[in-house]
Amino acid sequence: MAKRDFYEVLGVAKDASDEDIKKAYRRLAMKFHPDRNPDDKQAEEKFKEANEAYEILSNGDKRAAYDRHGHAGVDPNMGAGGFGGGAGGFSDIFEAFGDIFGGGRGGGGGGRQRGGSDLQYTLELTLEEAVKGAKKQIRFTTAAPCEVCDGSGAKKGSGKTTCRTCGGAGQVRMQQGFFTVQQTCPTCKGRGQIIKDPCDACHGEGRSNKQKTLEVTIPAGVDTGDKIRLAGEGEAGANGMPAGNLYVQVVVKDHSLFKRDGADLFCEVPISFVEATLGGEIEVPTLDGRVKLKIPEGTQTGKLFRLRGKGIKPVRAYEPGDLLCQIKVETPVNLNSRQKELLREFQESLDGNEKHSPNKKSFFDSLKDMFS
């Protein structure tokens, strides 16, 4: 089945900014996260699809390769960018033909034997946890070294012998006409050794699936899309080969009061029309507690106040951002008859004096000009 366009997966335009891509990914990741959709295969597939799309589009080099060549440009089996560097490069290109030319990255035993795969875990955090840092326990299933044979793949008391077919090289040479080609040994599968008596628990693999629990230290200032690399905590390699890495990808949940924009925080602050009219001092929330904010006389809805240094200090920044408080003047509701009477008296006292409502006067003046 052909892959969908990565921009279509995230629901963004091709000229979308990095921030738009991050927001779109966060929305999908929270919607289709396996913890929120247990036993829902369709949600799981959409979650993986969104992860793959974000992995490419959030990386400048990979996104450029994808824009030029489509899926082929970021397919590790094709070499990124159609043989043009980017996320891959020549090592990836020759690795794809390793069986013919004897390529590959490993060391002894022919070089085709690899360590375990890298894994990715998506971790949801509250805004407070992301801003201040936290320690979180995660639990997942992965291939781990077999406890019975200690990852060797052989029964206790037995061992491995050198492969007679390749003499321990893991590769064999074959003559094909004028050419001599080198390929992975069919007997030992590139290991260079043979297990005569395989472990009954793992059947010679040296690993088996098990639940793994880790404590992850979240640095202060992370944001959606950031990754934390845990070296060697990924899938165990076969027959004692090194384990892969675990990448913990962060998704920050929406907050009831604040919206985040990089290092800045945004908060909508409701005030009464009396406070807006007469001015005064109010308390506004920050992530470190409440602070005082002075409201000038005649403050209108939409007025923005900036509190310096009350935002977020990102992981790779030296200074925190700001807190932006936007005023929302609230209309009073559920008034009794006396309160309504007082408001009518107040309105009558304003009638005929346009200086009290300059925005209203400007609006109706424009309206007259429009239809005159």
Least confident of 28-42, 66-80, 155-169, 223-237: 66-80
Judge whether residue 135 has pLDDT over 80.
Answer: yes
Which residue in this structure is represented by tokens 């979180």? 136
Q: Which residue has the higher pLDDT, 72 or 272?
A: 272
Looking at residue 96, its pLDDT comes to 32
Q: How far apart are CA 248 and CA 123, in angstroms?
A: 7
Mean pLDDT of the chain: 81
Beta bridge partners of 281: 294
HEC string of 268-315? EEEEEHHHHHHCEEEEEEECCEEEEEEECCCCCCCCEEEECCCCCCCC
Please, what are the domains in the chain? 258-352 (2.60.260.20)
Q: Which residue has the higher pLDDT, 341 or 72?
A: 341
Judge whether residue 85 has pLDDT over 90.
Answer: no
Q: Which residue has the higher pLDDT, 268 or 370?
A: 268
Judge whether residue 349 has pLDDT over 50.
Answer: yes
Q: Which two structure tokens, joined as six digits, stand for 228?
A: 């934390």
Confidence of residue 177 (pLDDT cuts 50, 70, 90): low
Q: Which two structure tokens, joined as six digits, stand for 255?
A: 């907050």
Q: What is the pLDDT of residues 55-76, one digit of tens each?
A: 889 888 888 888 887 877 777 6
Q: Considering only CA atoms, which of 47, 59, 48, 61 is closest in space to residue 18?
A: 59
Looking at residue 371, its pLDDT comes to 73
Looking at residue 361, its pLDDT comes to 62
Looking at residue 270, its pLDDT comes to 95
